[in-house]
Chains A and B, each alone.
Chain A
Amino acid sequence: MIKTIRYANLPIIMHWLLAVLVLAMIGIGLSMVELDLPPATKFRLFQLHKSIGIMVLLLVPLRLFARAYYRPPALPRSIPGPEQRAAVATHIFLYGAMVLMPLGGWAMVSLSPRNIPTVLFGLVVWPHISWLADLESKAIWFEPVEFLHRAGGWALAAVAVLHVAAALRHHFFIKDNVLWRMLPFWRARPE
């Protein structure tokens, strides 16, 4: 019976893997554009941000597969309707951001007037999206895409905080099994 109320292994693995990567992306991304860092540090952070971003992009299909293949356990009926809908909306946003943020970042890098090559972890060259990189009018497109990526980063940070706060609220204050269903190691079900 426990299997039906917990997430399956693959969704749990993918959730925590992407959680770590996405949090790293938010932290690196916001620091590299908002903080006044030495140029060399900034440059390295951009390359790291791009490397992890492409990693996310490559892992997201597996995450989506895990979501589609394993039906998630239903939320406890004790959760009021508006909160259930808020949870669904939050999850849709997070999945959307996981797909659109890396794609948007890749588009932005491809459109950048600086035309900086992406080298994954200093080792492998990752190409630009060629039709964007070759666009005559790419200078016009860069700024709106950059704005959306940056605004998306802040929005994602806010929604991630909401998501974590809700999980902690359920675990420590409401004391239901919402967070427990997603925990990888701790298998004792809270009463």
Chain B
Amino acid sequence: MKFLSLCVAAICTVTSAHAANWQVDPKASTLCFVGTQSGASFTGCFVKYVAHISYDAAHPDLASIDLTIDTGSAASGDVQRDTALPQADWFDILHFPNAKFAASGFQPKGAGNFVTSGTLTIRDQTKPLTLPFHLEIAGNAAHATGSVALARTDFGVGQGEWKSAEWVAIPVAVNFDFVATTAP
């Protein structure tokens, strides 16, 4: 009986993990960007986003990420900057309320490192994006961290005179630290 119940538990784990949908805990997770304004670096974070993540350790090639970011939820701790960010020259949240990242297939690179390929859409500009990240899974809890460098001008973030790097640098780093759980 003991053997059987263990066996059932094992099968259950495998089957549940096979279709594993991971729920990102927004309170424990961060999705931030680091830019440079007038030579000084600043960090802004998106407070609202919805992530649909599917991953099964046995089938990393079937994994997928579908992340929708509320562009109006960016906050960088500076009234001046945070007033400008939602406006037409930057995220233009009136016309582009969401940014999206969609990727499928995790390529394991060993030691918990992965790479996934997908597309990033900001201001309706879609570009291919390869995202390296580190993933640790303990039971039904996952911790994923990663960073990717973007050129804000690829997505039209900074219109008109802001297209130049005179005041705001072109490169922007996006860092995420996601804590997620899956149903046992």
Contact = CB atoms under 8 A, between A and B. Distances in A.
A42 B167 CA distance: 10
Interface residues of A, number: 16
Nearest to A43: B38
Contacts, number: 43
Interface string A110-138: 00011111010011110000000000000
Contacts of B37: 40, 43
Contacts of A114: 89, 160-162
Given A114-B161, A115-B84, A39 B79 contact: no
A117 B166 contact: no
A116 B39 contact: no
Interface residues of B, number: 17
A113 B38 CA distance: 18
A115 B89 contact: yes
Nearest to B84: A117
28 contacts: A38-B38, A38-B39, A39-B38, A39-B39, A39-B166, A39-B167, A40-B38, A40-B39, A40-B40, A42-B38, A43-B38, A43-B167, A47-B80, A113-B160, A114-B89, A114-B160, A114-B161, A115-B84, A115-B160, A116-B84, A117-B80, A119-B79, A119-B80, A119-B83, A122-B80, A124-B79, A125-B79, A125-B83
Interface of B: 37-40, 78-80, 83-84, 87-89, 160-162, 166-167
